[in-house]
Structure 1
Amino acid sequence: MSQTGWIVVVVVAVAVAIGVALIVRRDRYIRSLRERGWIFNGSPTFETVARLSNPPFGVGFRRDPDDQITGRTSSGRAFQVIEYTAENWSGWVGMVTLSRRLPELWIMGGQTRPRYGVAATRMPSPPQLGDAWQIGALDPAYAAEALSSQVCGQLAAMAASQPGLNISIDGDQLVVLDPPRKDPDLLAPWLEQLASLAEAIDATPLDHWIQPEPPPRLTFYHHPDWHWIGEDDSLLHTTPATRSGHGHTTSNVIRGRDGDGPPFVAFTHEWKTTRTETYTDSEGRSQTRTVTDHHTEHILGFQLPTRMPPLKVGRRGIGRGISFESGAFNEQFAVHAQDTKYAYDVIHPRQMEYLMANPPATFEFVDGWAWFETGVHSQDVIGHSSQFLRGFLARVPRFVWRNLGLEESPYPPIEPAPTPVRGA
């Protein structure tokens, strides 16, 4: 056998040995878990994390649970340790069950960075914990009540063995990132500590903060009225999706609305086109072949409260458009409409200020819908467009709505919310 052949044999042998070693180690690990009465599931379904809606859960469209460990602590409290991958995060998460569904609460020790996608206001840390901790919540009163002296004591005890704790309350689950899952002998006492913290939270009088049970469906962080559909090819006949080509499919279909804002539909559309091209083969002869091209577009539309005349608003690149009295606005935006007076009525000075302060993706009113040209299908883009359109429609004058057949504005002005402290 040649030297190259021997090298190949050695490499294959080493690869096989490594593979066998990994399999043996995994089998021993799973056996050690089962010896404790715990259950190991190598292929958990999405239902294992469907009840969770706070980051790293509830963010984005990719949500993949993997290896899962479940069981009960010595006090009988249910726990779960699971590997989870999302669009902007991947790792292990440990959690125990609380007796009540509570609002979100974020507790981070040391210099721990907030989780990606978190939108919560930073609260003062209780004196029992000191300034080294970061606390986040939506309501200061809730955070103050939840962090009782007993809870703070348990937090300090956990931090002594695991610096940089990253803890949250997600409904009826107490969730911690990066549990010591590799060694069951370390994981077991860690779970007991987490159960003690959960017991301290359960013992704190927080019944007046109990949250309602959400419907059983895929959820989105801070968007309780968004619904995951998945696929709905009927949308290709009712939206401005490309009609040419073949093999049309939809994916990541979402419907919903934000508060009293306009309802929306958003999805990704994929299709194919075929064409014949001529080429020269290796012998210089002219040949033809069929080439299939794959295409993708992202559709985002909001249903308007009534049919509205055509109006398109976008960056100056879409053409000169109608001229307004604001030179700064004309340099930044182009507005197109069949009825110039209607455009002036809708795009008044206050509306111009709003557009310049909150530049949207190009959007267009077509009959009873507002269609956005986002170029991206993501939770953030949908949320931003929803918030923007709600504010835009709230600034449409009352007389315009009356001219369209509505007695009052369907979207009264709302006070701007305080800017939250977001995770990176």
Structure 2
Amino acid sequence: MDGLGVVGLFVVVLVAAGITWGIVALVRRRRYIKSLRDRGWTFVNSPAFDAVGRLGNPPFGLGFRRQPDDQIIGHTSLGRPFQVIEYKTEHWSGWVGMVTLSRRLPELWVTGGDTRPRYGVAATVVPAPTLGPGWQVGAVDQDFGSAVLTAQVTQRLHALAAGRPGVNLSIDGDQLVVLDPPRKEVELLGPWLELLATVATAIDAAPLDQWIQPEQPPRLTFYHHPDWYWVGVDDSLLELPPVTRSGHDHSTSEVIRGRDGDGPPFVAFSHHWKTTRTETSTDSEGRTQTRTVTEHHSEAILGFQLPARMPWLQVGRRGFGRGISFESEAFNDQFAVTAQDTKWAYDVIHPRQMEYLMANPPVSFRIADEWAWFSPGVHDQPTIAHSSAFLRGFLARIPRFVWRNLGLADSPYPPVAATPVH
């Protein structure tokens, strides 16, 4: 057999092996789904986003690309609802199991054994001597964290961890959530869910009513940003001033609206468009060929709506130009400020404002009419959060007389504590 024949045979073997593996995988999947249904559970191949839309703590509540996949839903032997679901995001991918609690409660984090805290979690460590070494507990409200850890809850947590390499558990609203459930083995998943339900029962029995949280609207949420919400697509935003006008097939994606506390409301999204050009080339025989080349482009748009129309002002990192000169050389070396009115710039960028800018350097931004437009370069949750916190502090440092000159009775942004923007 010549070399070409050997290669052909090898390809045939590979194709046959691939087909065989695919058939085996399909048979196994069907058997697995049947075993779930035999227990009275429901298997959903492509669940709607509602399955996880109200969950807001990591791995949920982070990023813009959130994808629920295979889902198992049902009730434990005592009637407590549960779901086990595959979930993918920019920061994490895996399986999550959860049972329903009787109340919506603040976030709580418990890790034990060979586990690490989840990506993106912001919490304070709560002493948990009753759990013993190797356990960590975190909460935003330490009093709540301590109150949850009753003797009964501690006992059930140890039972849940028995025989497993670790436990990564959290409270997310009215759900008790655990990463990496034993979902592959149905004979193990059932007893594990029953154990998780006993932890939920112990938490339900604890005196926690004073921490009950209000019901939230059924929409995609963002961790520690309760007033942000997902829009998805809104092509009416293409009329906003900073959007690139050239090209064709303009569209928006990952549109987010919201605000942080009493800060200005924002809109953030990705803008996509195409450009087309014609290229002409000549080959070695003098024949001319023409082809059309289409390029895809995108940009991040982030704008905050201001409470009054303001004159144009731009603040950026110093490049080749110095901009307006201020009394602080350290500031002049770091920033370039341009404005349509120099006096306006001096009124807004006063010494205390300069200190704030140098301590919390933002991405370049400009104020124009009723908007503050940032140039983030990327469209992501941390950039929006940082810019939102920065701008709230920047606006709070604009003097009252400036706001009054703009037609307002007083500053719409009371001073806040001088803490760094993270």
How would you bin the TM-score normalised by the shorter chain? over 0.9
| Matched ranges for 1:256-335 at <5 A | 256-281=258-283, 283-317=285-319, 319-335=321-337
Displacement after TM superposition at 1:76 (Å): 0.8
Displacement after TM superposition at 1:130 (Å): 2.3
Higher mean displacement: 16-25 or 411-420: 411-420
Of 102, 109, 120, the residue aligned with 2:105 is 102
Higher mean displacement: 306-315 or 7-16: 7-16
Q: Establish whether residue 222 from structure 1 lines up as the match of residue 252 from structure 2.
A: no
Secondary structure of 1:310's aligned partner:
strand
Secondary structure of 2:241's aligned partner:
coil
| Matched ranges for 1:245-264 at <5 A | 245-264=247-266
Secondary structure of 1:81's aligned partner:
strand
> Distance between the aligned counterparts of 1:330 and 1:112, measured in 2?
48
Displacement after TM superposition at 1:238 (Å): 2.8
Secondary structure of 1:314's aligned partner:
strand
User: 1:7 corresponds to which residue?
Assistant: 10
> Distance between the aligned counterparts of 1:93 and 1:318, measured in 2?
51
Displacement after TM superposition at 1:418 (Å): 9.8
Displacement after TM superposition at 1:417 (Å): 6.9
Q: Please, which runs of 5 or more residues in structure 2 have no aligned partner?
A: none
Task: Render the CA deviation track for 1:51-96: whole Å, top value 9, x for unaligned.
Answer: 1111111111111011111111111111100000011100000000
Name the aligned partner's letter for residue 292 of structure 2.
T
Of 38, 44, 49, the residue aligned with 2:47 is 44
| TM-score relative to the length of structure 1 | 0.95
8 Å contact 1:318–1:334 — kept in the other structure?
no
Name the aligned partner's letter for residue 101 of structure 1.
R
Displacement after TM superposition at 1:218 (Å): 1.1
Displacement after TM superposition at 1:8 (Å): 2.0
> Distance between the aligned counterparts of 1:308 and 1:342, measured in 2?
10
> Distance between the aligned counterparts of 1:154 and 1:187, measured in 2?
17
Of 189, 192, 195, the residue aligned with 1:190 is 192
Secondary structure of 2:308's aligned partner:
coil
Q: Establish whether residue 16 from structure 1 lines up as the match of residue 27 from structure 2.
A: no
Name the aligned partner's letter for residue 71 of structure 1.
G
Q: Establish whether residue 340 from structure 1 lines up as the match of residue 342 from structure 2.
A: yes
Name the aligned partner's letter for residue 22 of structure 1.
A
| TM-score relative to the length of structure 2 | 0.96
Q: Establish whether residue 360 from structure 1 lines up as the match of residue 362 from structure 2.
A: yes
User: 2:211 corresponds to which residue?
Assistant: 209
Name the aligned partner's letter for residue 412 of structure 2.
P
Task: Render the CA deviation track for 1:303-359: whole Å, top value 9, x for unaligned.
Answer: 011011111001002621111122221111111112212212211121111111111
> Distance between the aligned counterparts of 2:55 and 2:400, measured in 1?
41
Secondary structure of 2:190's aligned partner:
helix
User: 1:177 corresponds to which residue?
Assistant: 179
User: 1:134 corresponds to which residue?
Assistant: 136
Name the aligned partner's letter for residue 69 of structure 2.
D
Higher mean displacement: 127-136 or 61-70: 127-136
Displacement after TM superposition at 1:392 (Å): 0.6
Task: Render the CA deviation track for 1:258-284: whole Å, top value 9, x for unaligned.
Answer: 110000111111111212222123533
User: 2:68 corresponds to which residue?
Assistant: 65
Higher mean displacement: 74-83 or 323-332: 323-332
Displacement after TM superposition at 1:215 (Å): 0.7
Of 349, 352, 355, the residue aligned with 1:350 is 352
Secondary structure of 1:306's aligned partner:
strand
Q: Please, which runs of 5 or more residues in structure 1 have no aligned partner?
A: none
> Distance between the aligned counterparts of 2:263 and 2:284, measured in 1?
62
Name the aligned partner's letter for residue 70 of structure 1.
I
Displacement after TM superposition at 1:162 (Å): 2.2
Higher mean displacement: 10-19 or 195-204: 10-19
Secondary structure of 2:7's aligned partner:
helix
Of 77, 81, 85, the residue aligned with 2:84 is 81
Displacement after TM superposition at 1:157 (Å): 1.5
8 Å contact 2:386–2:421 — kept in the other structure?
no
Secondary structure of 2:245's aligned partner:
coil
Secondary structure of 1:324's aligned partner:
coil
Aligned length: 419
> Distance between the aligned counterparts of 2:358 and 2:420, measured in 1?
20
> Distance between the aligned counterparts of 1:347 and 1:12, measured in 2?
68
> Distance between the aligned counterparts of 2:421 and 2:152, measured in 1?
31
> Distance between the aligned counterparts of 2:382 and 2:246, measured in 1?
29
Of 53, 62, 73, the residue aligned with 2:56 is 53
User: 2:163 corresponds to which residue?
Assistant: 161
Higher mean displacement: 108-117 or 134-143: 108-117
Displacement after TM superposition at 1:147 (Å): 1.3
Name the aligned partner's letter for residue 268 of structure 1.
S
Task: Render the CA deviation track for 1:127-160: whole Å, top value 9, x for unaligned.
Answer: 2112421111111111111111111111111122
> Distance between the aligned counterparts of 1:103 and 1:11, measured in 2?
53
Displacement after TM superposition at 1:14 (Å): 1.1
Displacement after TM superposition at 1:11 (Å): 1.4
Secondary structure of 1:308's aligned partner:
strand
> Distance between the aligned counterparts of 1:124 and 1:24, measured in 2?
49
Output the aligned Cα RMSD: 1.6
> Distance between the aligned counterparts of 1:403 and 1:368, measured in 2?
15
